[in-house]
Amino acid sequence: MKFTLTLADSGALLERLGMGKVVRGGKGSLAGTVSWPGSPLSLDTARMTGQIEVAIDSGQFLKAGPGAARLLSVLSLQSLPRRLLFDFRDLFEEGFVFDNVAGNVSIGQGVATTNNLRMRGAAAVVLMEGSADLVHETENVRVVVVPEINAGTASLAYAIINPAIGLGTFLAQYFLRKPLMAASTREFQVTGPWDEPKVERVERPGLGATPSIESPAAAANPSPPTTR
């Protein structure tokens, strides 16, 4: 099936599809090609393949409820506020208010993968790469939050991310070489089931260094921030 959906209210569409009130507003489009064996009236998620392009403007992710809506809790970033050193609670606790959401998603055998999903809000840009298993309802997603520390910082991150090089290389090349951006950018790894995700802070010991995930013990007992 090759399709283009022009959306006047993406939240209303998701509610109509039975996902509940998980998005407020949001206009734009979903376009792509998906396929699965069997009847077109009987969706086979486990054997679905395809490509989807997302381009949505002016909306807000709300608190996700049960069912498939749990996947959207990753996008709304509900589990991140306690990990952020900057006070972004007003942005994330009730769901991320976005100006734009854009990116490309590939689906293979029921697993959705992206390496360039990006969301732009008034005070930050959120970049994501990783996968979501639509059958087993699990995810493994890397999340990078780039705050708008001066005019154009976050907007630049939104505009120039290149899906061909991957998120880690992108950060090393464009942002983490700059001390102010390196100090303010936050990275997380979100893994596990949709209804109980595990969020771990990704530490960078040095600019351009290979990132490492902090251990659960370190996450439970974080070191105090260094004062410069």
CB 205 within 8 A of CB 212: yes
What is the DSSP code (8-state) at residue 174?
H
Question: Which residues face 49 on adjacent strands?
Answer: 35
Edge-to-edge strands of the sheet including 49-61?
A: 2-7, 23-35, 49-61, 97-108, 111-120, 124-133, 138-147, 186-193, 198-203, 212-213
Going residue by residue through the chain (228 aa), what tens digit of pLDDT does each one get? 999 999 999 999 988 887 888 899 999 999 999 999 999 888 898 999 999 999 999 998 887 665 556 667 667 666 565 545 444 555 565 677 888 898 899 999 999 999 888 888 877 788 889 999 989 989 999 988 877 765 555 566 665 555 556 676 667 666 656 666 667 778 889 899 887 888 888 876 544 443 333 333 333 444 444 433
What is the DSSP code (8-state) at residue 223?
P
Query: What is the pTM for the complete model shown?
Result: 0.76
